[in-house]
Structures are given as structure tokens and as C-alpha cells.
Amino acid sequence: MTKTKLHELFDQEGQSPWIDNLSRDWLENGHLAHLVELGVRGVTSNPTIFAKSISTGVSYDEAMRRLLPDHAVEETYWELVVEDIQRALEVLAPVHAASDGRDGFVSLEVSPALAHDTAATTTSAAALHQRIQAPNLLVKIPATVEGLPAIEETIAAGHSVNVTLIFSLERYDAVIEAYQTGLERLAASRGPGADLSDVASVASFFVSRVDTEVDHRLERRAADGALDPAQLHQLRGHAAIAQTKLAYQLFLDRFTGPRWEALAAAGARRQRPLWASTSTKDPSYPDLYYVDELIGADSVNTMPDVTLDAFLDHGTVRQTVTEDVAGARAALDRLADAGIDLHDVSSVLEVEGVASFAKSFDELLQRMQAKAVELGHPGR
């Protein structure tokens, strides 16, 4: 097998490349298996990805004809998604086995409508794990205020979690706390000699969207005369990388010391930071800006198709996320001095992220309803 830059990324620097996409076509034509051969070590999905996959083309028509006579439209959606996830889990199972449970994961998100309902999120996460029962399944739970206790409860129940929609260092710290507290509760419930190695988690820190929001605010301030062109040029495009480098430092700090060592002695796995939203939104930035600058051991970068292809072609394999941490802190200080409130930025992005996934989910159900009518099964 020919080694690719994705293999080098993991073998040399310890970062796991995942793909941020999934479709039934990929499962049927072998494309997902081909990506795994190229070095992809995991899959993430979200309601927007499934909305695009299910509502376009004809690859789901046969399954919808089979399901719609006995299922409501939303029930049909979950049947379709679970079928795809189960097949993807089978494709990634060899990676999971060969990595001793470190990689080979596929993520499935709870309904975005539950983002602010702790009890319903906890129940839904448990139901998805019960329904699929695969050791390489990660159920995605958003890192909202209401999501934090659901994360803790899900870990305490012995289920693996992908924590999604993290936009700030403060919320990331709370996510780590929820994970470690959940592990401690799980260890206590299992008693002396408890083995925690069957529980895995990643914490998905969203990257490029931070620059999109911060750059927009900087440009507004420049238009209002609060910043001159030189200041605007100096400040644009630095918030996301700087904050993510500090997030990695927080990861290193929180997964060392006596508390973590006690959990590690029971087989607990570190909750790896996962860099999400790593496609470049601003065409003036390099196409691999949020990949090449954030390479570090024991982390994950989940890339959309175009970004993954670009990395295979011209990515740079070198540890970068630990470089110039002092410069990262200084960059955030400069932004604060320029009137950028990163706490407010993260709050806005969280609201927008939850709303975006909820909108995608609602639009998908509407499209599925229209498709059901087209197929002669108007649904229930």
C-alpha cells in the first residue's frame, strides 16, 4: 500500500485525519473504504451533511419506498441515518481494532432540537448507543450549557461521546471537566479494579468560523474608523489559530497531574481535541490554513472533501500547534485591545451553530415529505 500524507500525519506527528462527510453513495461505491486506504481514520457527520446527502439524488429512494409505508417521515430519517452509520462503522471497524480503540470512530449527532434540553439529550444519546451498539460509535452532543450535564451523564453511563460546537476556551475547559467527572463516576459505579478503556471521547473545537466572525467585526470597526487599514491587516485571520493553539495547551494541562493519572491508571483515554470547521472560508487565506497550522500529537482534524484532497496533494507534515504559544496569547490580547470580545463571539457562534443544524434538520424533513409524496407515500 502506498503511503500518503494522511498516513504520514498520523505515523510521524500522531494526529488523526478524519473525514467530515458521509453519504450512502460512498458506502455503495466503495469510496469510504478507499478513503480509509488513503489514511482516513474516522468519520464525522451532522444534520447538515445528512440533509445534503438524503435530499439530493436518488440513492435513498429505494430505502424510502421500503420504509415510508410503516414509518413517519422523521422515523424514516432516523432509519436511513442509522443504516448509513452502521455500514460506516463496519468500514471503520478494522481501524478501530488495529488502533486498540484509538481511532476508527463514526459520529452520529442527537437531534439538534434537543440542544437546550439536558434530559432529552441524555435519553437520546443512550437510545442511539443502545440501538447501534458498536464500540466505535461516538454520539455527538453539543457543548451548550444544557449539554454539559448530558455529556457527564453519558460518559458516566459508559457511552462514548463526540462533544461538538465548542467555540471558546472557557467552554472547552467545562467540557473537559464534564468528561473527567463522568469518568470518575463511571469508575465509582464499576467498583474496585474498574476498567475505563471502553469509553472514548473527542472534543470538537470549531476553528474557521471564529475567524469569519472576528474578521467581520474587525472590518466593521475599520469601516467605523476605529481601526486603520494597517491595524485591520495585522489583526485579520489570527483569532482562530491563536485560540486553537491555546486550546491545545489547555488539553495538555488538563490531562496531566494526579487527578488524570488516577483515571489513566484505570485505563481511561484522554479526550482528544478535534479540530472541526477546518475548511478555509476566506479565499485570501491558504487553502490548508486550518490544517497545516494545527498539527499536534493526540489530536484529530476532521476535514471536508476538498480540504482532505488538498492535504493529500500539498499538505505539510510538521508539528505546528505547539509553536509560538506566547505569540498566540499576544494575538488574542491585541484583538481584545481592538475591541473584539471573544466571549461574545463564541456565544454568537454557538447560537448560530445550533440554529444552523436545526434549520438543516427541519428543511431535510420538509424535503423528505416532498419526496414521500413524489414516491407515492405521503407519510404520516
Given a cut of 90, is residue 374 above it in pLDDT? no
Residue 46 has a pLDDT of 81
Q: Give me the catalytic one of 3, 5, 52, 140.
A: 140
Q: CA angle 44-294-151, nearest 5°?
A: 45
Q: What is the mean pLDDT of the chain?
A: 95
Domains and CATH numbers, the chain: 5-209+241-323+349-374 (3.20.20.70)
Per-residue pLDDT tens for 203-214?
Answer: 999 999 999 999
Per-residue pLDDT tens for 144-164?
Answer: 999 999 999 999 999 999 999
Residue 51 has a pLDDT of 77
Rounded Cα–Cα distance for residues 190 and 258 (Å): 20
Instruction: Examine the residue annotation and report whether 3 is marked as an active-site residue of this protein.
Output: no
Residue 369 has a pLDDT of 86
All cell numbers assigned to 116: 437546550
Given a cut of 80, is residue 359 above it in pLDDT? yes
Residue 79 has a pLDDT of 93
Average pLDDT estimate for 68-94: 93
Per-residue pLDDT tens for 315-345?
Answer: 999 999 999 999 999 999 999 999 999 999 9
- More confident: 275 or 49: 275
Of 29-38, 151-160, 225-234, 355-364, the poorest mean pLDDT is in: 355-364
Residues constituting the chain: 380
Average pLDDT estimate for 15-43: 97
Residue 364 has a pLDDT of 84
Residue 6 has a pLDDT of 98
Residue 379 has a pLDDT of 53
Residue 69 has a pLDDT of 87
Rounded Cα–Cα distance for residues 281 and 209 (Å): 8
Rounded Cα–Cα distance for residues 71 and 193 (Å): 45
Given a cut of 90, is residue 363 above it in pLDDT? no
Residue 380 has a pLDDT of 55
- Per the rule left: phi > 0, alpha: psi between -120 and 50, beta: everything else, 318 is beta
First to last CA, the chain: 50
Given a cut of 90, is residue 29 above it in pLDDT? yes
Per-residue pLDDT tens for 265-293?
Answer: 999 999 999 999 999 999 999 999 999 99
Given a cut of 90, is residue 226 above it in pLDDT? yes
Q: Any idea of the CA torsion for 144, 149, 150, 153, to the nearest 10 degrees?
A: 160
- More confident: 135 or 50: 135
Residue 304 has a pLDDT of 96
Confidence of residue 221 (pLDDT cuts 50, 70, 90): very high
Per-residue pLDDT tens for 101-136?
Answer: 999 999 999 998 999 999 999 999 999 999 999 999
